[in-house]
Each structure stands twice: as C-alpha cells, then as structure tokens.
C-alpha cells in the first residue's frame, strides 16, 4: 500500500482545497489556487497525527531535507491532474521576477526551495464548466 493510499491523501487534500474560499466573495476567478507548500501546511494543521506518522517535513529552503511533503504533494497532485483521477487542476506560478515566496507554518517561516530555478506548482478543486 502506498503512502497516498494508506493516509487517504486524495480525499484529505481535496477536502482542504474545497474548504479554501476566495477572500473576495463572488469574484469571477472562483476558487483560489494553493501552492503545494500551502497544502502541506494546511494538511499538517488539519491532520497532525497523519503528518507525524508520515515522517516528512513540510520542506523549504535551508531545511537540508531533499524529500519533503510539499514536493511529494506537488508530484502526486500533478499526476492526478494529468490522469484526471481527482477533481484537482494544477497550474504554475511563473518564476519570472520572483525572488522569494515565504509561508507561515505556525511560528516558523518556510521559504520555497525552488528559488529562481523552476515555476511553482499550484492546485485547486477543478472548476465546473
């Protein structure tokens, strides 16, 4: 059994994405995208026992960790988007003229480890047409 199946990550991540509402009501953009880092931090908050059992850090620059939860979520959500096996759509935030992106993880600040080397993946619940 994979980690994805063992912790029912598809359903848990979809519930996180469904609960994210735009900060401006009734905006025509609809549901906001979340980066894989945001998804990982929200997962850690909502499912702390699963987060601990999985044994992966949220990740980020300077952690010294080369395999981390945000990276794992990005890879798996991308695969599920491509195969249409979850109601999730992905996109990239272009890296052009972006110096750093940092996230609040409790009292810690997590900075994206991608720097200017790659576009940053983002995900949301697939919008119905």
pLDDT category of residue 24 using cuts at 50, 70 and 90: confident
Residue 91: what pLDDT?
Answer: 93
Residue 64: what pLDDT?
Answer: 60
Tokens standing for residue 112: 């994206």
Taking residue 7's Cβ as centre, other Cβ atoms within 10 Å add up to 19
What span, in angstroms and rounded, lies between the C-alpha atoms of 28 and 9? Answer: 29
- Does 23 or 52 have the greater pLDDT score? 52
pLDDT category of residue 62 using cuts at 50, 70 and 90: low
Residues in Cβ contact with 98 at an 8 Å cutoff, skipping those fewer than 6 apart = 116, 120
Extended strands (E) in the chain: 34-35, 88-93, 102-105, 108-111, 120-125
Residue 61: what pLDDT?
Answer: 67
Residue 100: what pLDDT?
Answer: 80
Residue 59: what pLDDT?
Answer: 81
Mean pLDDT of 94-111: 84
What span, in angstroms and rounded, lies between the C-alpha atoms of 101 and 60? Answer: 10
pLDDT category of residue 116 using cuts at 50, 70 and 90: low
Residue 96: what pLDDT?
Answer: 82
Residue 30: what pLDDT?
Answer: 81
- Does 80 or 116 have the greater pLDDT score? 80
| 92 φ, ψ (degrees, to nearest 5) | -115, 145
Mean of all residue pLDDT scores within the chain: 87
């Amino acid at each position: 059994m994979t980690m994805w199946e063992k912790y029912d990550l598809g359903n848990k991540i979809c519930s996180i994405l469904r609960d994210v509402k735009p900060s401006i009501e009734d905006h025509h953009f609809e549901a906001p995208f979340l980066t894989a880092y945001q998804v990982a931090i929200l997962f850690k908050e909502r499912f702390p026992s699963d987060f601990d059992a999985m044994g992966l850090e949220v990740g980020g620059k300077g952690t010294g960790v080369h395999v981390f939860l945000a990276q794992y979520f990005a890879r798996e959500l991308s695969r599920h988007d491509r195969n249409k096996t979850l109601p999730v759509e992905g996109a990239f935030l272009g890296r052009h003229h972006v110096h750093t992106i940092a996230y609040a993880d409790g009292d810690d600040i997590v900075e994206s480890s991608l720097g200017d080397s790659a576009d940053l993946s983002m995900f949301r619940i697939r919008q119905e047409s």
